[in-house]
Structure formats: C-alpha cells, structure tokens
Structure 1
C-alpha cells in the first residue's frame, strides 16, 4: 500500500536530495563563530580625505610571519597562523580556530598611491595606511 501512495522513486529522490544538500553545506563552518576558509583574517576598510585605512584582525600571529605587498592596484596580505600547542593526550572534538597559510587581497581605489604605504602591528591588529595621490584630493580653485 505504501508504494501506491509514495512510490519507490520518492524515497530515492529524497535520498538524492539529502546527499546534494550535504555536499552543498559541507564547507560551511561548524558554528556561527567559526570562519570559512579564505575569509581569514577579517578586515575593515575605510577612507579619509588623505588615505585608505585597512585594519587586519590577526591575533596571535607573529608579525614576522606577515607580508604586505602592493602590485598593480592590489594590496595583498599573506602569512601563516600556527596551530596552538596541545598535549599529546588531548583529543579535540571541535576546532573553530583556523591554522595554516592565508592570503587576502584588497583592490585599492584608483586614487591610492602605492608608494605611500605604511603598516604596523599592534595588539593583534595589522593597521595599513595607503596614502592618496595629491591630484585626487579636494582643492579650492581661486576665482580671478
């Protein structure tokens, strides 16, 4: 009787749909606090009249393991975050902290001057300031 109502194709279809959903969501983080690969480190970008300000949140990273480069209007931040040390008898059952190499690229606006980049690391934050070209700054025109 159940085959008359549901049919065997329905069960196979539900099983296929379940497998597809599992494959789609397999790359998502295990919790709301976990980061997806490729989105670490998190960054904030802002702009002033004189510069583009980028803050990279990278706590626990040795500043000597960070690299900032600018090439053809693209600012790249790369580095490596070490896995925290654990004892031999520790068996993790959840890991929300990414460990390994990372690379983030930020497209700079056209008025950014790649020759005027400064970076400093303080309290787990890498602050990068990219100056703007003088020609792009607002100026007052004298009326004659």
Structure 2
C-alpha cells in the first residue's frame, strides 16, 4: 500500500494550478485589465550646491492646498493627497494607472542645512524645496598672502 505523499501533484499542484487558472481567466475577461497597485512615492531629485540643497518632487495632479511640508529636528516630511475625480453618471473606469490618495515622504537633513529657512514652491506639478546651508557650514575662502 502506498502512503500519501504530501508533494503529490494531486495534493499540492492541482489547487495551485486551479487558482492560477482562475486568475488568468479573470484577467482575460474582455474590457478589463488589472495592474498591481503602484507605489505612491513620488520621484525625487536632490541637488547640492555651495548655497544648499534643492529637492524636486514630482506630484502632478495635487492641489497646492493639499501639500504639507514640515521640519522636525533633522527630518523634512512632505505629505500630500491626490483626490479622486468624481465620475459622471454612466462612466466606468476601464484602466487607472495614476495613483489616488495620500503619501508621506521623509528625508533626513544634514546638519549643514538651516531648517529655519526652508522654502517651498509648487509649479506645474513639481514641488521644489530650497534648503539653504547654515552660514557657518558654507565653505570659506581664505586669502593666501604673499610675503616679499
């Protein structure tokens, strides 16, 4: 008599294949396409110069009043929300790739940044944060004197 093998395809593979098959059939229905949820973290560029740091965040479709920028200790935090647009009667979403809802993104500030002078500007879907250097951290040019 054969003992039951837990790795037998009738025990393990068939339920997995059945679930996979059901998923493929669901995705293949006409008029529907589903995608994995996209992460809601906006892309960021961080630039550094002698004057300080400039941070650009791509957050198109967000109303400026729905953006909150805070600095607490050495952490800069940006919170924002892209609100869903109401659909007219009789309109259904066939595909939606633009993320809706809120996000929070935080950045550790170096000690060279003067957190009391951070400035924020929002234009054409890009949030630009200017993080000036502390005066004492700016490079100082020392004149070399020539003695004759």
Q: Which has the larger radius of gyration?
A: 2
1:73-92 CA distance string (max 9 Å, x none): 11000121111232222222
Would you say 1:35 and 2:38 are equivalent positions?
A: yes
1:74-124 CA distance string (max 9 Å, x none): 100012111123222222232211111211111111211101101111111
Q: Corresponding residue for 2:7? A: 9
CA distance in 2, matches of 1:141, 1:42: 39
Q: Corresponding residue for 1:98? A: 99
Q: Comparing 100-109 with 79-88, which one deviates more in the overlay?
A: 79-88
User: Number of paired residues?
Assistant: 127
CA distance in 2, matches of 1:96, 1:120: 26
Would you say 1:130 and 2:131 are equivalent positions?
A: yes
Taking the TM superposition and a 5 Å limit, the aligned residue runs for 1:1-144 are 9-11=7-9, 12-14=11-13, 30=35, 35-37=38-40, 39=41, 41-142=42-143
Give the alignment's TM-score, normalised by structure 2.
Answer: 0.72
The answer for unaligned runs of 5 or more in structure 2 is: 24-33
Shift of the 15–54 alpha-carbon distance from structure 1 to 2, 3 Å rule, reads: farther
Shift of the 17–129 alpha-carbon distance from structure 1 to 2, 3 Å rule, reads: farther
The Cα RMSD (Å) is 2.8
Q: Comparing 105-114 with 83-92, which one deviates more in the overlay?
A: 83-92
Larger fraction in strand: 1
